[in-house]
């Protein structure tokens, strides 16, 4: 079964050209299928039972991404009863065991998908690891960028002044548009 899922994933990767992933309005994203570390296929950007979906692009070796893991876990806990789904997308060529070890090490308890061909990266236009994308009910991007402003650059950390992702989630759950819809992220 795992071999079958892997073959389906590879075929889907070949059949769907990256340029066709964005829909006409450039805000809605065509579905992308990725496997988790158990070989189960998950489809991103399709209709969801979740009110909101948050994606974070990661590798287990990125120090900036790893610095965000406690905040990621805290946000997931804070919003889990409000229908917000959190998904990590591993964009490196890491083994299933390495990904599971990373999740265990950082106490991550969310769906973790593998995207070594970077199909989802291309679909949303992600530029670095630790970048997050918040999708609304219609699967359109409502916020993209950093989790918070703790990083002033790739090498300079500072005190947190703005909880950008948390603020965007809270606004959407309250039926409002986020005040900030895009921020610069580092990773």
- The tens digit of pLDDT for each residue in 113-145 reads 999 999 999 999 999 999 999 999 778 899 999
Question: Please, what is the Cα angle at 40 between 90 and 30, to 5 degrees?
Answer: 65
Query: Which overall architecture, per CATH, does domain 2-173 show?
Result: 3-Layer(aba) Sandwich (3.40)
> What's the pLDDT score for residue 146?
95
Find residue 52's DSSP bridge partners: 84
Confidence of residue 18 (pLDDT cuts 50, 70, 90): very low
Whole-angstrom distance, CA of residue 77 vs CA of residue 57: 19
> What's the pLDDT score for residue 27?
54
pLDDT at 1 over 80: no
- The tens digit of pLDDT for each residue in 40-77 reads 999 987 765 667 999 999 999 999 999 999 999 999 99
pLDDT at 4 over 80: no
Looking up tokens 């993209």, which residue turns up?
A: 144
pLDDT at 174 over 90: yes
Whole-angstrom distance, CA of residue 38 vs CA of residue 185: 30
Radius of gyration of the chain (CA): 16
Task: State phi, psi for 14 to the nearest 5 degrees.
Answer: -80, -40
> What's the pLDDT score for residue 156?
86
Q: Which of 19-23, 33-37, 82-86, 119-123 has the lowest mean pLDDT?
A: 19-23
Domain boundaries, the chain: 2-173
Please tell me the number of Cα atoms within 13 Å of 53 on its side-chain side.
Answer: 20
């Amino acid at each position: 079964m795992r071999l079958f899922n892997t073959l389906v994933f590879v075929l889907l990767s070949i059949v769907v050209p990256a340029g066709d992933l964005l829909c006409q309005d450039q805000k809605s994203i065509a579905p992308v299928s990725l496997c988790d570390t158990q070989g189960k296929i998950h489809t991103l950007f399709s209709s969801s039972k979740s009110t909101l979906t948050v994606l974070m692009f990661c590798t287990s070796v990125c120090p900036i991404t790893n610095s965000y893991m406690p905040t990621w876990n805290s946000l997931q806990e804070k919003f889990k009863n409000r229908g917000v789904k959190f998904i990590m997308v591993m964009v490196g060529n890491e083994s299933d065991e390495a990904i599971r070890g990373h999740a265990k090490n950082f106490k991550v308890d969310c769906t973790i998908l593998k995207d070594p061909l970077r199909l989802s990266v291309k679909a949303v236009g992600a530029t670095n690891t630790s970048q997050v994308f918040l999708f609304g009910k219609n699967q359109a991007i409502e916020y993209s960028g950093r989790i918070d402003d703790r990083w002033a650059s790739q090498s300079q950390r500072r005190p947190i002044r703005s909880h950008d992702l948390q603020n965007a989630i809270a606004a959407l759950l309250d039926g409002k548009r986020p005040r900030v819809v895009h921020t610069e992220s580092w990773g």
